[in-house]
Amino acid sequence: MDIQIIQKKIFVIRGQRVMLDRRLSDMYGVPTKSINLAVKRNIARFPSDFMFQLSKEEYDSLRFQFETLKRGEHSKYAPYAFTEHGITMLSSILKSATAISVNIAVVRAFIFLKQYNSDIKILQLRIQELESKFNKKIDNINDVIEFLLAEPKISKTPKKETRVKIGYKLPKKQETI
């Protein structure tokens, strides 16, 4: 399976990256009902941080993101969302060769997204460092420009300049008595 195709099927819901049961069933080549039945038979393997059912509002929001709603394509029941760990757990209950290869591809897609996000965070930190560095320099440049553009201050009373005479000075004659 192509990782880019899988990435398009990953959504962020409740702050977690998840795949919906319908998208997984398409990839596994089995009906959605089969996956949900297998999960219900092994529900102890799927705590709430591995799998959860979407609320009506979440489902309605996602439905508008999909292609136009056609009769019979969308269930009236809210789908289940599987996190990365839930999808990994699916591989332990779905034993077909297709399920195993799909699970490997899905896990790789999640790993790629994690690496991509960590790279983005590193870039964001670097950009913030550069912004703070250049902001200081720009502030200094602005101060210099303001100084150069300011009108010089002229005092109203000119200062009396004292001149120092230069040259040879004759010694004063001493008076004789």
Report the pLDDT value the prediction gives residue 74, as an integer from 0 to 100: 59
pLDDT in tens, the chain (177 residues): 677 777 788 888 888 889 898 888 888 888 888 888 989 999 998 998 999 999 888 887 777 666 544 555 556 678 899 988 888 888 778 777 777 777 777 778 888 877 877 777 788 888 888 888 888 888 888 888 888 888 777 666 666 677 777 777 777 777 666
- pTM, to two decimals: 0.56
Q: What angle do CA 8, 118, 16 make, to 5 degrees?
A: 50
Look at residue 49 and tell me if it is in a domain.
yes
Look at residue 46 and tell me if it is in a domain.
yes
Report the pLDDT value the prediction gives residue 65, as an integer from 0 to 100: 64
How many domains would you assign to the chain? Answer: 1
Look at residue 60 and tell me if it is in a domain.
yes
Look at residue 10 and tell me if it is in a domain.
yes
Look at residue 35 and tell me if it is in a domain.
yes
Q: 77: domain CATH number?
A: 3.10.260
Residue 59 domain boundaries? 3-113
Look at residue 94 and tell me if it is in a domain.
yes
Look at residue 125 and tell me if it is in a domain.
no
Q: What angle do CA 47, 10, 8 make, to 5 degrees?
A: 165
Report the pLDDT value the prediction gives residue 100, as an integer from 0 to 100: 74
Report the pLDDT value the prediction gives residue 68, as an integer from 0 to 100: 47
Look at residue 129 and tell me if it is in a domain.
no
